[in-house]
Structure 1
Amino acid sequence: MSAFTTGIYRNVFKEIGKSQKEVTEKIQNAANVFFYGNEEERIYHPAGEDMGYLEDTGNHDVRTEGMSYGMMLCVQLGWKEEFDRIWKWSKTYMYLEDGENEGYFAWSCRTTGEKNAWGPAPDGEEYYAMALFFASHRWGDGEGIFHYSREARNILRACLHKGEGGRAGQPMWNRENKQILFVPGCPFTDPSYHLPHFYELFALWADEEDREFWEQAADVSRKYLAKACHPVTGMSPEYGEFDGTPMGGREPREGDRHDLFYSDAYRTAANIGLDCLWFGKDAGHYNAPLRLMRFLETDLEAARCVYEVDGTPVDRTVLHPAGLLAATAQGALTVASAALQGEKADKAGDSDRDVAKRWVEWFWNQPLRKGARRYYDNCLYLFALLALSGNYRIY
């Protein structure tokens, strides 16, 4: 039964023997370091009296990816002040009020607020919308930009209806095949952007006229992920064609490949795990994280390598090894609770249990990353902590 139906969220850490006290302390400590640690640790920075931002510490900018992630983390943690600060910074500096991308958010800004770009990244918008709906249900709607549910619906309306009725711009979803795009109007997608568990909820809370679209998008994304994850390795590419194959022939410059299992792609296993926890609608994609864990689990150092999706190693440096570990461990949510608790007697069940437990233990013993590249890794780390402890919830 899904958490959406029962309201019960698995605590995988307890299933493998951690105490509730250990789990609670680990989450609190990690969140405090992430938001309020020293200058070598924290990601979040208060700005002025009522705003704040999350810095991409590797690129020294502010991205809608991180800002929307920060809001989701805050609503899950119950941190309303930080949520409102991040949202106000986003609306003040990142929101695009006119032009072709009016209604979207500039994907990158300087930490001082000046825009580095005038176009959006769709993963930011879908996380903004989901975090705002959760905030509305957890804390209630306020006034102005803090009328959370109205702001969420406005974002989703822009995502689907740009370019209609003479309106400028391009939508973030392909209206015909119901797939999210890497950027508005482009002819390919990003597997890690596919969040069917979000679309199920958009189908309940978005504008009524769009609810059928979101219901269909959830089904499409699950089927897409089943095709995009390799049948042996479970790996997905960073960017993909609509038929599920790795993107080919559209690289922006020589040597910059996005058909590999690389940084963006690490999120796919985590997303599938959360979809399994929240809704439990398997379209053939739920086995992909286990295939990935099995492929990498023979030697944890293998997770330091970049791969073709078929598992062929590529001579390229992994930028986010801690993020890869965290996101893959979150995929353990697809392994049945009974298997993790040792209740399956068959050999296959025991194998599933052993692989999943090993990854969750590896993750449990992994500290937050330090240094310049800590931003992306530690975002995925906190999400995995919340998801595996039963604290990444539908509100």
Structure 2
Amino acid sequence: MNKAAFHKSQYRNLLKEYGYSEEEILKRIDETWDKLFSDEHEETQIYYTVGDDEAYMLDTGNIDVRTEGMSYGMMMAVQLNKQDVFDRLWKWTYKNMYMTEGENAGYFAWSCNTDGSKRSYGPAPDGEEYFALALFFASHRWGDGSQPFNYSEQAKDLLHTCIHKGEEGLGYPMWNPENKLIKFVPNVEFSDPSYHLPHFYELFSLWAYPEDRQFWKDAAGASREYLRIACHPDTGLAPEYAYYDGTPNDDNGYGHFYSDSYRVACNIGLDYEWFGDGKCPTEITGKIQQFFVDKDPSDFRRYTVAGEPFQEKSLHPVGLVASNAMASLATTGPNARKCVELFLDTPLRKGGRRYYDNCLYLFSLLAISGNFKIWMPRK
């Protein structure tokens, strides 16, 4: 019998398994949400309201608004039943980031200024895939409204664009149509291992337009296989960019284990929790935890995928601690608990680089407490 959350609608609560009370867990989640989304906590805040009905997530290290952060904020909001926050973020996104002209029409500009003006007219696929699933979950949890809050239609249209763009005109798809692998950006032919979300694609295969569903089912399998070949066989470490054969793409120094790469552990952990697929490469998360379990976060660095350290320190050590904890959903043994305990002893990051770290922090807290859930359609 498959014991994955998708089949039994129950989620592992690692914190409860490790002896924490429900009251302690809920308090930790509420406090973390408040520190990220309230203007009473300037040192940790990453969410900012605009007017009466809009808001954005600020990349505090680059002082811009990214589709990554906006889609992350929407996912956090739907998981915690914060529809006002979700709708504020989505309205700002749709108003300022959605592109209606040129080769990227139908996608979202990956970077904008806080006044809504675009800093780039290119998209980043990790934003689109998170937008789509957050929108489906919003539809299933709250019901669809009028445009742009017709959540499910927005999600289906976006996914259709992602795989069919360029077939009848300008532009490029976000997934390679032959191998079903997500691209780093639409007009290149290489990938970013941390973009691979097979657990999302499994759900897209159920809820996308009927003609697109087989593609997403195939993409789920392709991504699980890709992660196995893109991560180092001994360390489990993934490069930030990799070619379709899994080898690191080190153009401009992106062939190493660095900031983007941290999300691979998160994604494998949640994939295994949600679907328990036997092809989920859970051996990778075990190797990653083994690599880091005896390292002090203050000395986390950039590494080659083989594990050789550079002098350069990690830009987001709290994010790495968080991702290693989320990996515990797909690992067993003492390292799983050690990584979770380290995470719980680590506070939210403060200061200029807090955005990415604290996004991964809240996602990890939700996941390891059984609160990063699949929201199914209403019956």
1:376 aligns with 2:356: yes
Among candidates 347, 354, 371, match of residue 391 of structure 1: 371
Cα distance change on mapping 1:278 and 1:111 into 2, 3 Å: same
Whole-angstrom distance in 2 between the partners of 1:300 and 1:77: 32
| 1:185-264 superposed matches below 5 A | 185-248=187-250, 251=251, 256-264=252-260
| 1:242-321 superposed matches below 5 A | 242-248=244-250, 251=251, 256-283=252-279, 285-301=281-297, 304-321=300-317
Instruction: Name which of structure 1's ranges 298-307 and 156-165 shifts more when overlaid on structure 2.
Output: 298-307
Whole-angstrom distance in 2 between the partners of 1:295 and 1:110: 38
1:365 aligns with 2:361: no
Do 1:76 and 1:392's aligned partners in 2 also have CA atoms closer than 8 Å? yes
| Deviation of the 1:323 alpha carbon | 0.2
Whole-angstrom distance in 2 between the partners of 1:333 and 1:300: 22
1:126 aligns with 2:122: no
Do 1:303 and 1:324's aligned partners in 2 also have CA atoms closer than 8 Å? no
| Deviation of the 1:168 alpha carbon | 1.3
Among candidates 150, 162, 165, match of residue 165 of structure 2: 162
> How many residues get paired?
372
Whole-angstrom distance in 1 between the partners of 2:10 and 2:41: 36
| TM-score normalised by structure 1 residue count | 0.93
- 5+ residue gaps in structure 2? none
1:44 aligns with 2:44: no
Do 1:263 and 1:320's aligned partners in 2 also have CA atoms closer than 8 Å? yes
Match of 1:137 in 2: 140
Deviations 1:122-152 (A, max 9, x none): 0000000000000000000001110000000
| TM-score normalised by structure 2 residue count | 0.97
Whole-angstrom distance in 2 between the partners of 1:111 and 1:77: 25
Among candidates 68, 86, 91, match of residue 88 of structure 1: 91
Runs of 4+ that moved beyond 4 A: none
Task: Give me the CA root mean square deviation.
Answer: 1.0
Whole-angstrom distance in 2 between the partners of 1:116 and 1:281: 40
Match of 1:79 in 2: 82
Cα distance change on mapping 1:222 and 1:303 into 2, 3 Å: farther
Whole-angstrom distance in 1 between the partners of 2:55 and 2:43: 18
Cα distance change on mapping 1:33 and 1:301 into 2, 3 Å: closer
Identity, in percent, stands at: 53
1:309 partner amino acid: V
Whole-angstrom distance in 1 between the partners of 2:73 and 2:173: 24
1:219 partner amino acid: G
Do 1:296 and 1:302's aligned partners in 2 also have CA atoms closer than 8 Å? no
| Deviation of the 1:99 alpha carbon | 1.0
Do 1:386 and 1:392's aligned partners in 2 also have CA atoms closer than 8 Å? yes
| Deviation of the 1:284 alpha carbon | 5.5
Equivalent residue of 1:53, what SS? strand
| Deviation of the 1:300 alpha carbon | 2.6
| Deviation of the 1:282 alpha carbon | 3.0
| Deviation of the 1:201 alpha carbon | 0.3
Whole-angstrom distance in 2 between the partners of 1:275 and 1:302: 29
Whole-angstrom distance in 1 between the partners of 2:308 and 2:279: 26
2:284 partner amino acid: A
| Deviation of the 1:303 alpha carbon | 5.8
Do 2:193 and 2:227's aligned partners in 1 also have CA atoms closer than 8 Å? yes
2:73 partner amino acid: G
Match of 2:16 in 1: 14
Whole-angstrom distance in 1 between the partners of 2:339 and 2:313: 22
Do 1:296 and 1:303's aligned partners in 2 also have CA atoms closer than 8 Å? no
Cα distance change on mapping 1:302 and 1:369 into 2, 3 Å: closer
1:391 partner amino acid: N
1:356 aligns with 2:359: no
Deviations 1:216-236 (A, max 9, x none): 000000011111111111110
Whole-angstrom distance in 2 between the partners of 1:56 and 1:303: 24
Equivalent residue of 1:287, what SS? helix
2:22 partner amino acid: Q
| Deviation of the 1:354 alpha carbon | 1.1
Equivalent residue of 1:170, what SS? coil
Do 1:64 and 1:121's aligned partners in 2 also have CA atoms closer than 8 Å? yes
Equivalent residue of 1:315, what SS? strand
Equivalent residue of 2:333, what SS? helix
